[in-house]
Amino acid sequence: MTSELTIALPLVLPEASDARDQCVERLNELLVVSGLEQAHATPSGDALCVHFDPTRLDASEVRRIVQAAGAKISGRYRHETLRVDGMDCATCATVIEHALRRLDGVLEASVSFATERLRLEFDSERTNRAAIVRRLGALGYSVRERDGHGGALAQYRELILSLVSGVFLLAGWLLGRFEISNWASLGMLVSAYVAGGFFTLRDAAQSLRAGRFEIDLLMIVAAAGAAALGEWAEGALLLFLFSLGHALEHLAMDRARNAIEALGELSPKAAVVIRGGVQSEVSVEDLRRGDRIIVKPGERMPADGAVAQGLSAVNQAPVTGESVPVEKSLGDPVFAGTINGEGALEITVTKLASESTLARMVTLVTEAQAERSPTQQFVDRFERIFVPVVLIGAALLIALPPLLIGAPLAESFYRAMAVLVAASPCALAIATPAAVLAAVARAGQNGVLIKGGLHLENLGAIRAIAFDKTGTLTHGKPRVTDVRALSGSEAEVLRWAAALERRSAHPLARAVVDEATKRSLTLEEATEVQAVVGKGLAGQVNGREVRVGSLSMFEQRPLAGQARSEVARLQSEGKTTMLVGLDDAVVGVIALADTPRLGAAAVLSELKTLGIAENVMLSGDNESVAKTIGAAVGIDAVHGNLMPEDKVRVIEELVT
Taking the mean position of all CA atoms in its chain, how far away is CA 451?
Answer: 11
Per the CB < 8 A criterion, the answer to whether 185 and 229 are in contact is no
- 3-state secondary structure at position 210: coil
Strand segments, DSSP code E, in 32-178 are 38-41, 47-52, 77-85, 106-112, 117-123, 142-144
- How is residue 211 annotated by DSSP? T
Asked if 203 is an active-site residue, the reply is no
Active-site option among 46, 123, 254, 468: 468
Q: How far apart (Å, rounded) are the C-alpha atoms in residues 245 and 162?
A: 9
Q: How far apart (Å, rounded) are the C-alpha atoms in residues 72 and 102?
A: 25
| Own/partner long-range contacts of 381-390 (Cβ < 8 Å, ≥24 apart) | 382/428, 383/214, 383/215, 383/218, 383/425, 383/428, 383/429, 384/212, 384/213, 384/214, 386/218, 386/425, 387/213, 387/214, 387/215, 387/217, 387/218, 388/213, 390/218, 390/420, 390/423
Q: How far apart (Å, rounded) are the C-alpha atoms in residues 89 and 587?
A: 67
Dihedral angle, C-alpha 573, 578, 582, 588, nearest 10 °: -10
Per the CB < 8 A criterion, the answer to whether 484 and 577 are in contact is no
Quick one: which of 327, 283, 278, 321 has its CA closest to 307?
327
Quick one: which of 558, 609, 550, 544 has its CA closest to 579?
550
Q: Active-site residues: which are they? A: 468
